[in-house]
Structure 1
Amino acid sequence: MTKQAIITFENVTKSYGDTQVLKNVNVEIEKGKFYTLLGPSGCGKTTILRLIAGFTELTSGTITLNGQEVQELPPNKRKVNTVFQDYALFPHMNVFENIAFGLRLKKLPKDVIQEKVSEALKMVRLSGYENREIAQMSGGQQQRVAIARALVNEPEVLLLDEPLSALDLKLRTEMQYELRELQQRLGITFIFVTHDQEEALAMSDEIFVLNQGEIVQSGTPVDIYDEPINRYVADFIGESNIIPGIMKEDYLVEFVGKEFECSDAGMRPNEKIEIVIRPEDLTIKPVNLGKLNVEVDTQLFRGVHYEIICYDEVGNEWMIHSTKKAEIGSKVSLDFEADDIHVMRFGESEEEFDARLESYEDEVEVDE
């Protein structure tokens, strides 16, 4: 466990009968960071939250909170609070009463409750709303009340289970900024669950990408976007062009029958691989003036760019994001840099992936 780790999962498994929801999960959560559990429905991300909160018992493995095993620790003894997807506010109580509910269960003095609720409302910018009825508040305001109710208990970890999913797009974006700013201001650990990759990229210090009960990749948003470990991650995080290829040798890859310089190494000569190039990394040039000729098939205007679909000579589909229109049916050339090509090996684990990256990054440092 690292010096700043607040939560650890060691070989954690969770099963319901014959259904395994989590498979040998190992996680380290540091104090004061914003973490996101990202994945589709049923991948196990909410189960991880429930295990941390104490709402679910693990099947095997160990979970620690501040170095203490929590298997026998009831939820009310853990310095953890949860904001649920539906907020779970009490409609018959006003804002003050909702936030004060947990404090009253602890039988705190009235003046202490008043002070703590006022401070929590100030944190979420709802000062003056104490007497407002829940039904009179917007979705964004209700979410802030739910967050204030969680924060008033002074948790070390705040768990957020898809709390933005019911909001419209504009409000959702605003709340992303507010949640991130709040976490940075308070300095406590946030663990956020979502299936929205843009949300994860925008808000997180670190992302755990889950698939079928396993963490397939973890890292910063930039690391995961720029260096996806496999097709699943590349597809799930942003738009991707994924093309079959061959790793000829270190820093040289072949696809569509042509060889290109790249920035990857550490593989077997002539190993079959897949390459990823992001749509925004492709530039359209006149035919034969780029690295790869394609034919324009369709295009859609997406507001900030055109989404252009092309096909190369062997039938691979290419998506390009460009601020300039293309002519449907025309032949054009795609240009890209060596650093824009990311190589993915089949069946590579995250440990093997990290070790390979470190090995040739060290080589580059030595050469310099």
Structure 2
Amino acid sequence: MPNNIIHFHEVRKVYDDVAVLKDVSFEIEQGKFYTLLGPSGCGKTTILRLIAGFIEADAGDIRLEGKRVNDIPANQRKVNTVFQDYALFPHLNVFDNVAFGLSLKKLPKSQIAEKVRNVLKMVQLSGFESREISEMSGGQKQRVAIARALANEPEVLLLDEPLSALDLKLRTDMQYELRELQKRLGITFIFVTHDQEEALAMSDEIFVMNKGEIIQSGTPVDIYDEPINRFVADFIGESNIVDGIMLEDNLVEFVGKKFECADSGMRTNEPVEVVLRPEDIQITSVAKGKLKVTVDTQLFRGVHYEIICFDADGNEWMIHSTRKAKEGEEVGLFFEPEDIHVMRFGETEEEFDARLESYDDGQEG
């Protein structure tokens, strides 16, 4: 059985008569890296603040290690937060910043010094104890903030967009460092971001949020390969999305053609939306292609060309290819049945999961 360290049950938060969290329920398993992903204002930081105890829920239960903590103040929860601006004290050096929370607990100086040395070693800042904060780089400041949080030995570390102020190269480096740190420590990380690439790269589990609700949760691979609706498909990576008709199990029609696919469990002739990821489409000859399109534009993205094409009905198709195309040429697009992902209109995550399970059970039978 999974060891769930955090449990939200129908948690609601209202500001100025607007529900920023709408009866949200989820569980967080101990020792994993979770990401709350979604656009600004979707409610992800509100969840973080509720876990930390900075704000109170208007309805529902929040449990930490099985204990209801709705009325437990922030300083009595085994949770620490790394903020977007790090919230370091500029007048204190690295040692005193990391030791700040321990000093408030009035621990012996020898014990504080040992804890500070240990956490600075964890974040690869040994020897920086006397360094002034103003002399630290962005990545070093972030590590100081993480060390300060870890010094209090939290069961859960909350990270509120801590990489957003870093340049691209440093941000990528810190993604690896954070992930490796979480694996070494084995504690639960809950990371807030609106950057989908960051979420895919770092997470064990992702909660995709929109308008105060969790739209879909799962592993990065699950969410990328099996988005539940247009919002998730659009928000997680690039997507080609067109309207279609699910004729029967494993047969879908879109852009006026019939295609074999891997989806099933829907009604006969049900209206659906069809997703094809740009990297799953190959450019080939018109004769070998399943669709005929005309190349409109292309951009070189370093690892691939991003090619925009249009079919005869005016549908736009994006392709990521290592092959360079010519603007204005007619080409074929080829894809395998398993590259086609079919989405039902209005399907909830529970309904989606049940449909997949019933299909899997049918296959096994």
Output the TM-score relative to the length of structure 1.
0.98
CA distance in 2 between partners of 1:126 and 1:303 (Å): 34
Task: Describe the superposition over 1:213-232 as per-residue Cα deviations: whole angstroms up to 9, x where unpaired.
Answer: 00000000000000000000
Q: Could you tell me which residue of structure 2 aligns to residue 57 of structure 1? A: 56
Does the residue aligned with 2:217 lie in a helix, a strand or coil? Answer: strand
Does the residue aligned with 1:217 lie in a helix, a strand or coil? Answer: strand
Q: Could you tell me which residue of structure 1 aligns to residue 323 of structure 2? A: 324
Report deviation, 1:3.
Answer: 4.3
Does residue 287 of structure 2 align to residue 288 of structure 1? yes
1:222-261 equivalences in 2 (<5 Å)? 222-261=221-260
Q: Could you tell me which residue of structure 2 aligns to residue 301 of structure 1? A: 300
CA distance in 1 between partners of 2:147 and 2:226 (Å): 37
Q: Could you tell me which residue of structure 2 aligns to residue 313 of structure 1? A: 312
Task: Describe the superposition over 1:126-173 as per-residue Cα deviations: whole angstroms up to 9, x where unpaired.
Answer: 000000000000000000000000000000000000000000000000
Structure 1 residue runs of 5 or longer lacking an equivalent are none
Does the residue aligned with 2:25 lie in a helix, a strand or coil? Answer: strand
Structure 2 residue runs of 5 or longer lacking an equivalent are none
Report deviation, 1:365.
Answer: 2.4
Does the residue aligned with 1:201 lie in a helix, a strand or coil? Answer: helix
1:196 alignment partner AA: D
Q: State, as a whole percentage, how many aligned pairs show the same letter.
A: 75
Task: Describe the superposition over 1:88-109 as per-residue Cα deviations: whole angstroms up to 9, x where unpaired.
Answer: 0000000000000000000000
1:355 alignment partner AA: A
CA distance in 2 between partners of 1:286 and 1:265 (Å): 30
Report deviation, 1:364.
Answer: 2.0
Does the residue aligned with 2:96 lie in a helix, a strand or coil? Answer: helix
1:216 alignment partner AA: I
Report deviation, 1:312.
Answer: 1.0
Task: Describe the superposition over 1:221-246 as per-residue Cα deviations: whole angstroms up to 9, x where unpaired.
Answer: 00000000000000000000001100
Runs of 4+ aligned structure 1 residues displaced above 4 Å come to none
Tell me how large the CA RMSD over aligned residues is: 0.6
CA distance in 2 between partners of 1:218 and 1:3 (Å): 16
1:86-165 equivalences in 2 (<5 Å)? 86-165=85-164
Does the residue aligned with 2:296 lie in a helix, a strand or coil? Answer: strand
1:271 alignment partner AA: E
1:347 alignment partner AA: G
Task: Describe the superposition over 1:272-324 as per-residue Cα deviations: whole angstroms up to 9, x where unpaired.
Answer: 00000000000000112111111111100001000000011111100000001
Report deviation, 1:17.
Answer: 2.5
Does the residue aligned with 1:343 lie in a helix, a strand or coil? Answer: strand
CA distance in 2 between partners of 1:331 and 1:256 (Å): 17
Does residue 39 of structure 2 align to residue 40 of structure 1? yes
Output the TM-score relative to the length of structure 2.
0.99
Task: Describe the superposition over 1:160-211 as per-residue Cα deviations: whole angstroms up to 9, x where unpaired.
Answer: 0000000000000000000000000000000000000000000000000000
How many residues align structurally? Answer: 365
Q: Could you tell me which residue of structure 2 aligns to residue 215 of structure 1? A: 214
